[in-house]
């Protein structure tokens, strides 16, 4: 425990120290040596510098909160006296090639009292037949039901309405859960106030640069944010591949709704804004398959971008009501800031730097800017990878992360936000599975 | 570090960033073209198909969502 605390404290200390020095150096070069007198350059410099400070503050807050979360949440070692019934719901649409291995993976769960319900969402392949053929093998522990194609939300609701468990674990047919997931999640429900536990999603197919960059993003970007939110007990997205809920709470809140493209985010926001307590458990690991090609990544992020914005705008009335839950209100504003403002700021930053470099001859600042952000990413990656006992080789990808991945992902989110604001029509895209898991 | 070296590195970073954004724009345009075609195709298929019979409303298992704020 002490070793762990020292490890965390040293990394955070290093981050703060390095960033402080870098910022001081940057400021020194900008203010003292370059003698910038042009008004445009001065204003641009202030805007870009303000953006940098906002980014640094955001990272520092995230790292501090995530550290506090880790310190406050040591592994829950004790065995449970009672294992309540849990129903695992696997919605599946055209997952024929992987459904059997998905069911076997789910059945491997190290938990004494659970059942699995496969909900076939009107597949045109043999998903349902394959799932149904496995029912006798597992006796009463496996159910396979089918419905006309209606989307993931309806499939999950259908599964919840058939569930016998007091708790439900909602996952994807293409994700694989670690065997300890249920035990680790159920421990949190000994607190009657806890209504849901968000799991930790990791990329399984780390086969090329794109999927490795996504692995880093999941660990550094998404899970770091979730751990920070968990400390405040204000999680904004319970990930689709790994979320455990009290069944009655989902029923009371209206189940999954299909009016956004991010049903998991919408459900979480409804829970959060109604004052329910959501926990994060980093040991509830779900391994999932990431897009291996740029076009597939684009579709996924476009859908996420629009879906999250839809979910925020759906709850826009809550943006103007800081009471009775000021922290929930702040988290909603933070989501809006990260979905729209941060993306726009990235673009404005690059544009201003371009103008400053071409027109003002202060291109050296661009390098300092990039170096500082990259250093920040490298240290944050080191912190997160150490925390999660992950492959440290991924740190090397933090350099490419800032250079290629962030501008690309931000551009996708920017286009998605524009399309959402202009109400451009959109269909539901499915990711082509490579069957890597 | 020499300031000229900074400038060269900065130029490389800027070119990479701008190139990445242009690549994203190209991907977006291609995506929009494909999506528009797909939506048109779906609309045409729907207009050719007979009017679907509305399904009966599902039993009220989930309580309707009422915002608390």
* pLDDT, tens digit (0-9, with 9 covering 90-100), for A4-30: 665 676 577 667 767 776 677 666 666
| Neighbour-count burial for A74-107, b at 16+ CB within 10 Å, e otherwise | eeeeeeeeeeeebbbbbbbbbbbebbeebbebbb
| Minimal-distance CA residue of chain A relative to B64 | A254
Q: Is B25 on the interface with A (CB under 8 A)?
A: yes
Q: Are B17 and A403 within 8 A, CB to CB?
A: yes
By percentage, how much of chain A surpasses pLDDT 90?
A: 49
pLDDT at A72: 82
Q: What tokens were used for B61? A: 């298992």
pLDDT-based confidence at residue A164 (cuts at 50, 70, 90)? very high
Quick: pLDDT tens for A210-269.
Answer: 999 999 999 988 888 998 999 998 999 999 999 999 999 999 999 999 889 999 999 999
Q: What tokens were used for A83? A: 């294992």
Q: What tokens were used for A299? A: 């579709």
Q: Is A145 on the interface with B (CB under 8 A)?
A: no
| Minimal-distance CA residue of chain A relative to B15 | A354
Q: Is A403 on the interface with B (CB under 8 A)?
A: yes
Report how far apart, in Å, the C-alpha atoms of B6 and of each of A357, B2, B10 are.
11, 7, 6
Q: Are B23 and A157 within 8 A, CB to CB?
A: no
Quick: pLDDT tens for A182-202.
Answer: 999 999 998 999 999 999 999
Rounded to an integer, the average pLDDT of A286-290 is 92
List of chain B residues whose C-beta atoms are within 8 Å of the C-beta of residue A28: none
pLDDT-based confidence at residue B12 (cuts at 50, 70, 90)? confident
Rounded to an integer, the average pLDDT of B7-18 is 82
Q: Taking the model in full, what pTM does it have?
A: 0.85
pLDDT at B3: 59
Q: Are A251 and B62 within 8 A, CB to CB?
A: yes
Pairing of strands A142-147, A277-288: unpaired
By percentage, how much of chain A surpasses pLDDT 70?
A: 88
Per-residue pLDDT for A321 more than 80?
A: yes
Rounded to an integer, the average pLDDT of A137-157 is 92
Rounded to an integer, the average pLDDT of A358-365 is 66
Q: Is A415 on the interface with B (CB under 8 A)?
A: yes
Q: Is B43 on the interface with A (CB under 8 A)?
A: no
Q: Are A251 and B14 within 8 A, CB to CB?
A: no
Ranking A11-15, A161-165, B35-39, B42-46 by mean pLDDT, the lowest is A11-15
A199 — phi, psi (to 5°)?
A: -95, -175
* Residue in A252, A294, A347 nearest the CB of B63: A252
Q: Are B63 and A274 within 8 A, CB to CB?
A: no
pLDDT-based confidence at residue A77 (cuts at 50, 70, 90)? low
User: Cβ(A362)–Cβ(A29) under 8 Å?
Assistant: no
| Minimal-distance CA residue of chain B relative to A297 | B27
pLDDT at A143: 94
Rounded to an integer, the average pLDDT of A25-40 is 63
End-to-end, the C-alpha distance of chain B in Å comes to 56
pLDDT at A241: 92
Rounded to an integer, the average pLDDT of A152-179 is 93
Instruction: Tell me the C-alpha distance between A405 and A247, whole Å.
Output: 38
Q: Are A363 and B38 within 8 A, CB to CB?
A: no
Instruction: Tell me the C-alpha distance between A143 and A126, whole Å.
Output: 16
Instruction: Tell me the C-alpha distance between A250 and A258, whole Å.
Output: 14
Quick: pLDDT tens for A45-63.
Answer: 777 777 777 777 888 788 8
Q: Is B26 on the interface with A (CB under 8 A)?
A: no
pLDDT at A427: 67
Q: Is A408 on the interface with B (CB under 8 A)?
A: yes
| Minimal-distance CA residue of chain A relative to B68 | A274
Quick: pLDDT tens for A381-423.
Answer: 888 888 888 888 898 998 888 888 988 999 999 999 999 989 8
Q: Are B7 and A363 within 8 A, CB to CB?
A: yes
pLDDT-based confidence at residue A78 (cuts at 50, 70, 90)? low
List of chain A residues whose C-beta atoms are within 8 Å of the C-beta of residue B16: 403-404
pLDDT-based confidence at residue A98 (cuts at 50, 70, 90)? confident
List of chain A residues whose C-beta atoms are within 8 Å of the C-beta of residue B63: 251-254
Tell me, letter by letter, the H, E, C secondary structure of chain A.
Answer: CHHHHHHHHHHHHHHHHHHHHHHHHHHHHHHHHCCCCCHHHHHHHHHHHHHHHHHHHHHHHHHHHHHHHHHHCCCCCCCCCCCCCEEEEEEECCCHHHHHHHHHHHHCCCCCCEEEEEEEECCCCCHHHHHHHHHHHHHHHEEEEEECCCCHHHHHHHHHHHCCCCEEEECCCCCEECCCHHHHHHHHCCCCCEEEEEEEEEECCCCCHHHHHHHHHHHHHHHHHHHHHHHHCCCCCCCCCCEEEEHHHHHHHCCCCCCCCCHHHHHHHHHHHCCCEEEEEEEEEEEECCCCCHHHHHHHHHHHHHHHHHHHHHCHHHHHCCCCCHHHHHHHHHHHHHHHHHHHHHHHHHHHHHHHHHHHCCCHHHHHHHHHHHHHHHHHHHHHHHHCCCCHHHHHHHHHHHHHHHHHHHHHHHHHHHHHHCCCCCCCCCCCCCCCC
Rounded to an integer, the average pLDDT of A328-336 is 91
Which residues are within 8 A (CB) of A374 and not within 5 positions of it... i.e. 6 or more apart?
A: A398, A399, A402, A403
Q: Are B64 and A254 within 8 A, CB to CB?
A: yes
Shortest CA gap B38–chain A (Å): 9
pLDDT-based confidence at residue A428 (cuts at 50, 70, 90)? low
Per-residue pLDDT for B69 more than 80?
A: no
Per-residue pLDDT for A431 more than 60?
A: no
Per-residue pLDDT for B56 more than 60?
A: no
């Amino acid at each position: 425990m002490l070793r762990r605390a020292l490890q965390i404290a040293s990394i955070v200390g290093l981050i703060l120290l390095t960033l402080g020095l870098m910022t001081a150096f940057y400021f020194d070069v900008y203010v003292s040596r370059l003698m910038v007198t042009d008004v445009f350059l001065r204003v641009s410099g202030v805007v870009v510098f303000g953006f940098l400070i906002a980014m640094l503050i955001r990272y520092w807050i995230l790292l501090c909160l995530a550290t506090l979360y880790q310190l406050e949440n040591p592994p829950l070692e004790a065995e449970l006296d009672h294992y309540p019934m849990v129903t695992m719901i696997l919605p599946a649409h055209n997952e024929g090639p992987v459904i059997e291995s998905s069911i076997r993976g789910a059945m491997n769960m190290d938990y004494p009292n659970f059942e699995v319900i496969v909900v076939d969402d009107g597949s045109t392949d043999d998903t349902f037949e394959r799932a149904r053929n496995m029912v006798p093998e597992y006796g009463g522990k496996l159910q396979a039901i089918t419905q006309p194609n209606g989307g993931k939300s309806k499939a999950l609701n259908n599964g919840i309405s058939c569930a016998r468990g007091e708790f439900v674990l909602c996952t994807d047919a293409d994700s694989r859960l670690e065997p300890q997931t249920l035990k680790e999640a159920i421990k949190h429900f000994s607190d009657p106030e806890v209504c849901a536990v968000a799991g930790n999603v990791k990329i399984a197919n780390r086969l090329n640069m794109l999927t490795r960059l996504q692995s880093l993003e999941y660990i550094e970007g998404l899970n770091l944010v979730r751990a920070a939110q968990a400390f405040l007990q204000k999680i904004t997205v319970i990930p689709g591949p790994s979320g455990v809920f009290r069944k009655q709470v989902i029923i009371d809140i209206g189940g999954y709704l299909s009016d956004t493209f991010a049903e998991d985010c919408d459900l979480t926001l409804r829970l959060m804004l109604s004052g329910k307590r959501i926990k994060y458990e980093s040991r509830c690991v779900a391994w999932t398959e990431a897009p291996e090609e740029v076009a597939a990544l684009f579709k996924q992020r476009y859908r996420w971008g629009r879906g999250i914005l839809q979910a925020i705008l759906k709850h826009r009335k809550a943006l103007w009501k800081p009471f009775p839950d000021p922290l929930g209100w702040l988290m909603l504003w933070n989501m809006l800031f990260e979905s729209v403002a941060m993306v726009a700021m990235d673009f404005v930053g690059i544009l201003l730097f371009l103008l400053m470099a071409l027109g003002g001859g202060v291109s050296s600042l661009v390098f300092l800017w990039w170096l500082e952000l990259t250093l920040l990413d490298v240290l944050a990656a080191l912190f997160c990878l150490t925390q999660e006992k992950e492959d440290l080789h991924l740190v090397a990808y933090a350099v490419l992360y800032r250079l290629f991945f962030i501008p690309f992902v931000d551009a996708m989110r920017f286009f998605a936000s524009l399309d959402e604001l202009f109400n451009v029509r959109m269909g539901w895209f499915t990711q082509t599975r490579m069957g890597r898991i | 570090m020499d300031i000229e070296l900074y400038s060269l590195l900065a130029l490389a970073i800027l070119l990479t960033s701008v190139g990445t954004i242009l690549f994203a724009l190209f991907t977006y345009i291609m995506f929009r073209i494909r999506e528009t075609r797909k939506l048109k195709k779906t609309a045409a298929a729907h207009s050719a198909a007979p009017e679907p019979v509305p399904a009966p409303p599902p039993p009220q298992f989930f309580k309707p969502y009422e915002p608390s704020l």
